[in-house]
């Protein structure tokens, strides 16, 4: 699948905003801790991915009712669904000048993940969190995502790489008072 930037300006995939707030002190501190153990940007990206995947539980898996959407809130509260965890990973990567996009897949609902740019190409990564039946890994040599869409079931990979969260995703995150309410309003398509 050819991944398509929604803006040709690569600097947009390094920008901080209200959601991917990599200029926030919590994000900067986490990035600095991870960077101390990384010999290069690839190692840092892998460490950041594993940190978000493994130490921030997916709130549905853990039963946490809180809804987070801003990267710094995900790090502070230690919880988030796929979208929020992707926002946190994007912030950590952008904090170390690694271009990072937000991207999506369609299953029963829209699923969020990221793409990182290395060696002139985009590589999708899924920090959702592993569980029985899910084994997502950081890889630049072929995708190791949580799920692969079944095209015969109308599931799909959206090819667009977003510099900012898709409005359909962000609006439901911001509006939800808790995770059970959020689950009733998750977007089913973009």
58 pLDDT tier (thresholds 50, 70, 90)? very high
Question: Residue 1 has what pLDDT?
Answer: 85
State the Cα–Cα distance between residues 14 and 17, nearest whole angstrom.
10
Mean pLDDT, range 176-185, rounded to an integer: 95
Q: What is the mean pLDDT of residues 156-180?
A: 97
CA–CA distance, 188 with 133 (Å, rounded to integer): 22
Query: What are the tokens at 97?
Result: 């000048």
CB 3 within 8 Å of CB 161 = yes
Find the CATH number of the domain harbouring 165. 3.10.620.30
189 in a domain, yes or no?
no
Average pLDDT of span 127-132: 92
**59 within a domain of the structure (yes/no):** yes
Instruction: Check: CB of residue 52 under 8 Å from CB of residue 88.
Output: yes
- pLDDT at residue number 12: 98
Which two tokens mark 182?
A: 């959020």
Angle of the 25-36 helix axis to the 82-95 helix axis, nearest 10:
70
Show the domain range for 57: 4-184
Residue 83 has pLDDT above 90, yes or no: yes
| Whether pTM exceeds 0.95 | yes
Q: How confident is the model at residue 69 (pLDDT cuts 50, 70, 90)?
A: very high
Instruction: Quote the pLDDT of residue 80.
Output: 97
Terminal alpha carbon distance of the chain:
18
- Residue 190 inside a domain? The answer is no
Number of domains in the chain: 1
pLDDT tier at 151, thresholds 50, 70, 90: confident
Residue 126, domain member (yes or no) = yes
pLDDT in tens, 20-37: 999 999 999 999 999 999
Q: Measure the CA–CA gap between 84 and 167, rounded to whole angstroms.
A: 14
State the average pLDDT for the chain.
96
Phi-psi region of 133 (alpha: psi -120 to 50; beta: other; left: phi over 0): left
> Does 8 fall in a domain?
yes
Do 187 and 81 contact (CB within 8 A), yes or no?
no
């Amino acid at each position: 699948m050819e991944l398509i930037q929604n803006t040709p300006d690569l600097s947009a995939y390094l920008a901080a905003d209200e959601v991917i707030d990599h200029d926030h002190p919590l994000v900067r501190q986490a990035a600095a801790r991870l960077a101390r153990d990384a010999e290069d940007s690839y190692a840092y990206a892998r460490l950041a991915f594993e940190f978000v995947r493994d130490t921030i539980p997916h709130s549905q898996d853990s039963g946490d009712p809180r809804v987070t959407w801003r990267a710094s809130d995900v790090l502070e509260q230690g919880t988030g669904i796929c979208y929020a965890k992707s926002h946190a990973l994007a912030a950590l990567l952008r904090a170390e000048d690694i271009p990072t996009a937000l991207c999506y897949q369609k299953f029963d609902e829209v699923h969020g993940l990221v793409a990182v740019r290395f060696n002139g190409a985009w590589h999708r990564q899924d920090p959702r969190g592993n569980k029985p039946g899910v084994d997502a890994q950081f890889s630049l040599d072929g995708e190791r995502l949580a799920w692969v869409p079944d095209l015969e079931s109308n599931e799909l990979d959206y090819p667009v790489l977003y510099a900012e969260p898709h409005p359909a995703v962000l609006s439901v995150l911001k509006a939800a008072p808790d995770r059970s309410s959020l689950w009733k309003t998750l977007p089913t398509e973009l």
